[in-house]
A and B are shown apart, each in its own frame.
Chain A
Amino acid sequence: MWLPLMGLVIGVIIGLLTDIRIPPEYSNYLSIAILAALDTLFGGIRAQLQNIYDEKVFVSGFFFNILLAASLAFLGVHLGVDLYLAAVFAFGVRLFQNIAVIRRILLTKWTSNGEK
């Protein structure tokens, strides 16, 4: 269990220490990518709890969603349409749905444990 946590910590440290500067207009893409990553992560946790977790789907979805969200935002900026809003909306809705499902499953588990 400590390995993923350690990975998270190392990632944060690397991110804080990196001295690569990106133009401020690209920070939008990064935010969208983070949203996509969070969505995929919670989707994976839900799948794990529902016992339908598939590693390939999770990993490919993680990176593919990041790239898709970023490119969608990029396209939106160049077309003059705020397409990143579509990504924010879609990922946001799914994020809340996933978290709701996770919460229900955990609640069910907790209540069943308490009855035992």
Chain B
Amino acid sequence: MAAVTGSEIPPLVEHGSVPRSIPTRIKDVWEFRELLGNLVRRELKVRYKDSVLGFLWTLLNPLLYLAVFSVVFGVILKGAAPRYGLLLLSGLLVWNLFSVGLSSAASSIVSNGPLVQKVWFPREILPLAAVGASFISFCFQMIVLLAGLAAFGHVPKFSMLWLLVPALLITMMLATGLGLLLGAYNVYYRDTMHFLELGLLAWFWFSPIVYTFDFVGRELESMGLSSLVAGLNPMIGPMVAFQRVLYNPENLSEADQALHFPLMLDQGMGFFVGLLAISFVFSFVVLLLGIRTFARLEGDFGEAI
């Protein structure tokens, strides 16, 4: 970005008729990483601007879930797993990371319309910033979960702790890939966001967040299938990993373990790695598809918004 005062000739930028290649795109995003950081910061700043509690709202949301669900399922509707709020939150936070990231990524191109129409920068930055902001919120919400786990004396499954890293990467990859895909279509068809809203609702209930993974696994096994088939919902892998590691059913009494988590506790490391591997393949394909579709549709964003 040297000014013309120097004697050197500034670098060339070409805007041709052919979409830039995927490696070039990645390089361009890297060069604009500072913008990415700024957009993430903007997203977070703007969310709670003018509110008295500000960032505390990010923490209050999971705190409320924790309290309400603990009461509802622990006191009113007995029969759910003990410390149900912690179980719920272990899956819900990952789901929120995914669904909030995806929805804001899918709307990011349209909601930044004026910018997209006027200035060039790698457009992928916008969905990426949306997922990035969702990740930062996730990190803060994790504080609530970890505090809750500590308060109830739940010890994480340390030997599987590393699983959380691929679980998070897969979740964000999936959100980014779908976000790119839907974000591009949303420019041309505003139906996309309505479609996504319904899709996420269905997806939520098809994921073991409110109920335990054992229900799904048992059903699959009664059909003569491996419970790994559940991995076809690519969000199950990351969620189950979080539940296994953080909520860690081993903290429950033997009776409760046998009652609520016989299947999950029966599985060794290999099972979770397998689930995550399926999710990874799925997410990677979606990401590639997302990048390619985005590249193809990007050319007329400036006109179609």
A and B form one complex: no
